[in-house]
Amino acid sequence: MTDALTLQERIDEVVVGLAEPDEVTAIEQLALADPEVAQMLERTRARFAELDATATPQPMPADMWDRVSARLSEVPQSADTGSDNRAGSGTVVPLTRPAAPRRLVWTAVTGIAASLILALVLGWTILSRPDAIVVAVLVNDNGEPVALIEGAEDNTTRVTLLGEAPVPDGRIMQVWTKPDADGPPVSLGLLEQPAGRQLSISGLPVPSAEQLYEITFEQGGGSPTGLPTGPIYGKGLARRPH
């Protein structure tokens, strides 16, 4: 198990909303300066659409549309036409164009509205589940999201698989975490069937940000050593919802 984050893992956390604001800004600036990073960001957004499909529908707050309208009213009506944005070496992309067609202006405004609504919906979904104090998205070696981990203060852990897990014959899925970054992995329990479930364990510290979670394929009955021995299905670092 490793604590190092690759560029793809950083992008994953930005897309699912688990990155800190300064990390979001850093990735967005990288995407503007490097077309390859921009392509990675777009591919990740498309890939994590599967994660959205696992979310449990939640009722919207009564004042949601008032909040959206208030935010839209804050959108500037004009911008400095001299501003530019560099998307790559030698390429200048203007932020605004004089006398833009009304259709393009309306497209931009509706795009902003969609972004605001999405942010409010995601925020409301997280806030409606106050028992989860950390969230981790586990990804495989290809950078694909395979599981969602939600850790509660009492060390109850909800595991949601984001697709069909290719469990090898004679193997079982085992969930691990590292409460201490310098300590050994600790088993949170087994997934007897390749499906999500809730696990409970006592005697561990309260889950924290940057805590590593991992799922491995172990022999029937679980790891014989008490430590991960099988292939890694997915891993990721926890973040506090905000």
242 lies in some domain: no
Residue span of the structural domain in which 47 resides: 7-127
Closest of 190, 217, 215 to residue 201, by C-alpha: 190
Give me the CATH number covering residue 227.
2.60.40
Other C-beta atoms within 10 Å of 14: how many? Answer: 21
pLDDT per residue as tens digits for the range 44-76: 887 776 555 555 555 666 666 676 666 666 655
Q: Based on the fold, state whether residues 86 and 119 are members of the same structural domain.
A: yes
pLDDT per residue as tens digits for the range 164-202: 899 999 999 999 999 998 999 999 999 988 888 899 988
Q: Based on the fold, state whether residues 11 and 119 are members of the same structural domain.
A: yes
Pairing assessment for the beta strands 171-178 and 156-161 based on DSSP bridges: unpaired
Determine the residue type at 33: A
Higher pLDDT, 205 or 196: 205
Q: Based on the fold, state whether residues 185 and 225 are members of the same structural domain.
A: yes
Q: Based on the fold, state whether residues 97 and 178 are members of the same structural domain.
A: no
CA dist., res. 20 & res. 16, Å (int): 11
Q: What is the DSSP-derived secondary structure letter of residue 164?
A: -
2 lies in some domain: no
1 lies in some domain: no
pLDDT value of residue 74: 62
pLDDT per residue as tens digits for the range 103-156: 444 344 444 444 444 444 445 444 444 488 999 999 999 888 999 999 999 989
The pTM (predicted TM-score) of the whole model is 0.52
160 strand-pairing partners = 148
Task: Provide the domain count of the chain.
Answer: 2
